[in-house]
A and B are shown apart, each in its own frame.
Chain A
Amino acid sequence: MPMQSDMVLIADMLQFIGVFVSFSIAYVAYRGVRQIESSSLLRLATAFVFLGFGFLVEALVGLDQFVSFLPITATVIVIGGLLLETTGYFFLAFSHAVDVMLSKRLGPVLMLFPVLTLSLTQLQNVLSFFAFYFVLYGVVETVHSYSKNKRPDTLLIALGLGLISSGIFFQWLSLLYQYVGVLSLLQIILQEMGLLILFTPVLGFARRGVKLDDTI
């Protein structure tokens, strides 16, 4: 179907935006690691490096539908991409978990984990579920941070993470149901909107003219 292939192409192009945004955030965080040796920024950089590579793998799989160039089957690579993405979201959640430990309070959302159950029949399903869970945890912790620091940009990041988690939810649905084209496009649009919102702190850096190439 031509319409479906158009949607796949659009979704694929949007994945490349995700790659750019993720690597930009990772770069700024990495400069922070180099300049002030912050472990929080190291976890943030690690998260976005994994996310960037995850989006890149998914984008390449999408391109392969139009120009066949991948040596192994797409399913194996998609699972690899999802694994990278989920690891990225894990590090994002882990950053918040460490923050929670440093502030001597318990992470109440982590306790919900044993309550949630899912069929383990498909690896893709499981990975999407974990990614969804990690981002949701990130949303809750970011909203909690906002309640303390009252910074509008923190609330904006929570909104971005919320959109990403909605995107992952639709990705999960697309694995279970037949409306793959529409759900995939919806997933990518939500995810990319969320990622573009996450890009705002990087823009803030550029706006303030902070030099990133100095080593202290």
Chain B
Amino acid sequence: MTQYRTQVKIIADVLSTARDMNVEGNGVGITALLRRGNMSYGRMTKLLSELVGSGLLTELSGDKISKYMISDKGVQFLTAYHSFEDFAQSFGLRL
């Protein structure tokens, strides 16, 4: 069954992608984030600038395209997210 994602779930998904796909340590491009994030380009760029602004992602500016890397604060957010997700799921709720 299709389920709507809440804003906090979308943020957690983007941060997880930025963490998991950054295997070489030089960040993740917007194309990879879009593929895994399942949202429009416009919405993704707006979200990315918000996440960079709030310090959850770090923007690595290259020659042509920007790449994104999860920050320490982002890792902290994901840890907290998973703990509270577990807590909410115990009550049969989704974050």
Partners in one complex: yes
Residues of A within 8 A of B (CB): 28-29, 32, 35-41, 44, 95-96, 99, 102-105, 138, 141-146, 149, 151, 153-154, 156-158, 198, 200-201, 204-205, 208, 210, 214, 216
Residue of chain B at shortest CB distance from A40: B93
The DSSP consensus for interface residues of chain B is helix
Give chain B residues whose Cβ lies under 8 Å from the Cβ of A151. Answer: 89-90
Q: Would you give the shortest CB distance from B74 to chain A, in whole angstroms?
A: 9
> Are B1 and A105 in contact (CB-based, < 8 A)?
yes
The DSSP consensus for interface residues of chain A is helix
Q: Would you give the shortest CB distance from A176 to chain B, in whole angstroms?
A: 31
Given A38-B88, A40-B6, A40-B88, decide whether A95 and B80 contact each other with a Cβ distance below 8 A: no
User: B84's contact among A41, A103, A105, A141, by CB below 8 Å, is which?
Assistant: A41
Q: Would you give the shortest CB distance from A145 to chain B, in whole angstroms?
A: 3
> Are B94 and A40 in contact (CB-based, < 8 A)?
yes
Given A36-B77, A36-B80, A210-B83, decide whether A41 and B88 contact each other with a Cβ distance below 8 A: yes
Give chain B residues whose Cβ lies under 8 Å from the Cβ of A145. Answer: 89, 92-93
Residues of B within 8 A of A (CB): 1-4, 6, 8, 73, 76-77, 80-81, 83-84, 86-95
Give chain B residues whose Cβ lies under 8 Å from the Cβ of A141. Answer: 92
Q: Would you give the shortest CB distance from A152 to chain B, in whole angstroms?
A: 10
Given contacts A41-B88, A104-B2, A145-B92, 19 further A-B contacts (CB under 8 A): A32-B80, A35-B77, A36-B77, A39-B6, A39-B8, A40-B93, A40-B95, A41-B87, A96-B93, A99-B94, A102-B94, A103-B1, A138-B92, A144-B92, A145-B89, A145-B93, A151-B89, A157-B91, A198-B91
